[in-house]
Structure 1
Amino acid sequence: MKIYLVAGEISGDILGAGLITELKALYPAAEFRGMGGELMQAQGLTSLYPLETLSVMGLLEILKHLPKLIKVRKHLYQDALAWGADVMIGIDSPDFNLGLEKKLRQQGMKTVHYVSPSVWAWRQGRIKGIKKSADLMLALLPFEADFYQQHAMPVTFVGHPTADKTPIEPNKSSARNTLALTDKQHPIIGLLPGSRSGEIARLGELFLQTAQALKKLHPQAVFLLPAASAKRYTELEILLTDNPVTDLKLLQGKADLVLQAADVCLVASGTVALETLFCKTPMVVSYKLAPFTWWLSKWMLKSKWVSLPNLLAQKTLVHERLQDQANVEQLTYDLNELLTQPAVAAEQTQAFYAIHQQLSCNASKQAAKAVANLLNP
């Protein structure tokens, strides 16, 4: 069995590694090729490009990198065919992967897309293209599966792998001990501005300045800032030079420990918000896009919310501070509310428990079974 996988994000690398592990259990002699990060490679993937090749956000940014992305996709298409792959699995990165899946499917190859794009939220007409691109959609969230079923698209709800690996009851004291935090250091505030360079550029300074303002309200506060990679660590170091924060720990990785250890977190919209939910840590979600991308997205958005906690709860469970609302004064107010009003924080955490249990389904195993069922109906 030859299985071609393409991931272009850190979150996709995590998903891909779990999927490969379970596919190897079903197909011990399987070979894996395509594009992925260190985790997927550790499970046996031969990767032709670095993981960050696809990490481009925003319409204008994508246009600038378009010639390179087209060249990469053409090479992967030719390579998958020449290698004789039995199935191609695109992991997230829909703007890149769905086009690749469509071309390979036209050549008779089975194709799977793992992680639904936000088609239910905006540009719903994309469902027509998705149905032409993928034989099967693997959905992490239940409302996504409902959407595809309504549009007669083959779909399997698999749950979320992070829900499986994160204990229902987090161990905050253990995480704090690992990070060498003491009981006197309180409150503990996590800052997670994102894993992409563009996110650091747009949110990094804002998050640091918010930390400076919170420090005035909570002099004993400790701030934890995990960097997703060595490159992000360097970028954050540079930002800290101009925006120093007293009692801030810049960490290489360890985001999972930060989310468990913190009393509250300020996070970028995206997968990290869901990971924060699994750790039962109250949060404020914030995000900024390039101005033109933001202007365009406002006209295309079909959903009331953008953050996964709110989408799963189907109500405003956590504050979403986007674009102009993403400012120091507003974020400071919201985080201070969580720190000083226990009832507000408790409402979040109680809902987090119910959502976590709903999404804990042994996702990697379910995804591998679904792929196997596609290949051997």
Structure 2
Amino acid sequence: MKYYLVAGEASGDLHGANLMKALKNLDANAQFRYFGGDLMKAEGGELVKHYADMAFMGFVEVVANLRTIFKNMAACKKDISAWNPDVLILIDFPGFNLKIAEYAKAQGFKTCYYISPKVWAWNQKRVLKIKKVVDYLFCILPFEVDFYKSWGMDVDYVGNPLLDAVAAFKPDPEFVSKHQLKQKPIVALLPGSRKQEISRLLPEMLEAAKQFPDHQFVIAGAPSFELNYYQQFLNGQDAPVIFNATYDILNVAKAAVVASGTATLETALLNVPQVVVYKGNALTIGIARMLVKIRFISLVNLIMDRLVVKELIQEDCNPVKIGDELNAILHNGSYRQKMLSDYDELDIKMGEAGASAKTAGLIVKYTQKNSAL
């Protein structure tokens, strides 16, 4: 069968790649065409557009880049129709993908949506649109099933694909020596995968790092950027940037400073105590605070429904507060152990790996069923 996938950011590229791998195991004749990234490209098929040219975060940033966004949407719609896939698989990225789903529905394409839009956070009436334009919705957070049911929509809970990625991870035993890291306790810096995130968060992280001369700080570089992009923030500071090795960095880290997003859950699943940071455009944050209906921004806290990891947002995201929290998780034994114990509880809530295989099985089943009608 022909599968067209649309992923618009780094996390979607990861989940898309794992899903493609699982689909190939079930369908020997699988053909892929997609908007995605390097991980999906490694699985084969044809990469139409890289997510690096698509990911804009925040209300203000989106408005400023509307011309590019609309151009990408038009190109995506045209390419889907030209390729005529058996099924369209949309991965997260709701601002873009719900528009694509609307177009696909009108054109008669079957649409699967993998990783539910977070409509439970704000503007819940978007569920009504999802019911109209998405044929099959696959959720990765347990509480989403009941949420959609309250709106009269049946969805499939498939588990969380990050469990697949973590389960498949094989640590590099030579990682520290290979990258000539110092024999000091390592702190991982994960400033995100978008330019806006990195430019706002990395300087704060690096300034906080100066308070810990006895630790080695290592930056997880996003694959869509070059080394020289990060070097503009370093100003000679000793903080190696290592690309395509986030899990290996976390594997050797004693603590981490992490941009809010998928990486917060990955860090917890890899059992690394962390402080979560976020800083956006002031107007964007102001609008979000009026609209968003959730108590937390990190996936760890959202899933646990309580504060497990400290969240430093906007004005609180500064070197002093980052340093204070890092000091606590590095040197306060009871504080550190409480976070690790909470991670154990999180592991139980998350369940077992296998989301990619389960989702692939349902996609093949539903697509074949529709083909037979």
Moved more, 306-315 or 151-160: 151-160
- Is 1:205 paired with 2:203? yes
Aligned match of 1:363: 355
Which residue identity lines up with residue 356 of structure 2 in the other structure? S
Partner of 2:341: 350
Report the residue type matching 2:216 in the other structure: V
Residue equivalent to 1:16:
16
* Cα deviations by residue, 1:177-213 (Å, 9 ceiling, x for unpaired): 665556x513x2111111111111111111111111x
- Root-mean-square deviation (CA), in Å? 2.1
Alignment correspondent of 2:89 = 89
What TM-score does the superposition give when structure 2 sets the normalisation length? 0.92
Query: Is the 8 Å Cα contact of residues 170 and 279 (structure 1) preserved in structure 2?
Result: no
Q: Which amino acid aligns with 2:361?
A: K
User: Any idea what the Cα deviations from partners look like across 1:21-73, whole Å, max 9, x if unmatched?
Assistant: 11122221121113121221222221221221221111121122212221221
Please report how far the alpha carbon of residue 170 of structure 1 lies from its aligned counterpart in structure 2 after TM superposition: 9.6
Distance across 1 between alignment mates of 2:341 and 2:84: 49
**Matching residue of 2:320:** 329
Contact kept? 2:191, 2:220, Cα under 8 Å? no
- SS at structure 1 position matched to 2:240: strand
Of 265, 283, 289, which aligns to 1:292?
Answer: 283
Structure 1 residues 234, 92: closer, same or farther in 2, change over 3 A? farther
Structure 2, gaps ≥5 residues long: none
Specify the alignment match of 1:239 in structure 2: 233
Q: How many residues are paired up?
A: 368
| Equivalence for 1:375 | 367
Q: Judge conservation of contact 1:338–1:345 (CA < 8 Å) in 2.
A: yes
**What displacement does 1:123 show?**
1.8
Aligned pair 1:224/2:223, yes or no? no
**SS of the residue aligned with 1:117?**
coil
Conserved? CA contact 2:112–2:134, under 8 Å: yes
SS in 1 for 2:22: helix
Unaligned ranges ≥5, structure 1: none
Counterpart amino acid of residue 345 in structure 2:
A
Mapped to 2, the partners of 1:175 and 1:20 lie a distance apart of: 28
Q: For 1:177 and 1:315, locate their aligned partners in 2 and report how far apart those are by CA, in whole Å.
A: 39
Deviations along 1:58-107, whole A, 9 cap, x unmatched? 11211222122212212221221232211111112110011101111122
Aligned pairs (5 A) from 1:147-158:
147-158=147-158
Shifted more, 74-83 versus 1-10: the winner is 74-83
Counterpart AA for 1:313: M
Q: Distance in 2 between matches of 1:307 and 1:152?
A: 28
Structure 1 runs of 4+ with >4 Å offset? 167-182
| Separation of aligned partners in 1, 2:347 and 2:148 | 22
Identity of aligned pairs, percent? 33
Mapped contact 2:77–2:100 kept (Cα < 8 A): yes
Q: 1:157-193: CA deviations, max 9, x gaps?
A: 22222212325999797765665556x513x211111
Q: Which residue of 2 aligns with 1:310?
A: 301
Question: Could you tell me which amino acid in structure 2 is paired with residue 368 of structure 1?
Answer: A
Question: Partner of 1:281 in structure 2?
Answer: 272
CA distance in 2, matches of 1:168, 1:230: 23
Q: CA deviation at 1:277?
A: 0.5
Q: 1:185 matched to which residue of 2? A: 184
Mapped partners of 1:149, 1:230: distance in 2 = 38
Counterpart position of 1:70: 70
**How far apart in 1 are the matches of 2:124 and 2:4?**
28
In structure 2, what is the Cα distance between the partners aligned to 1:230 and 1:169?
21
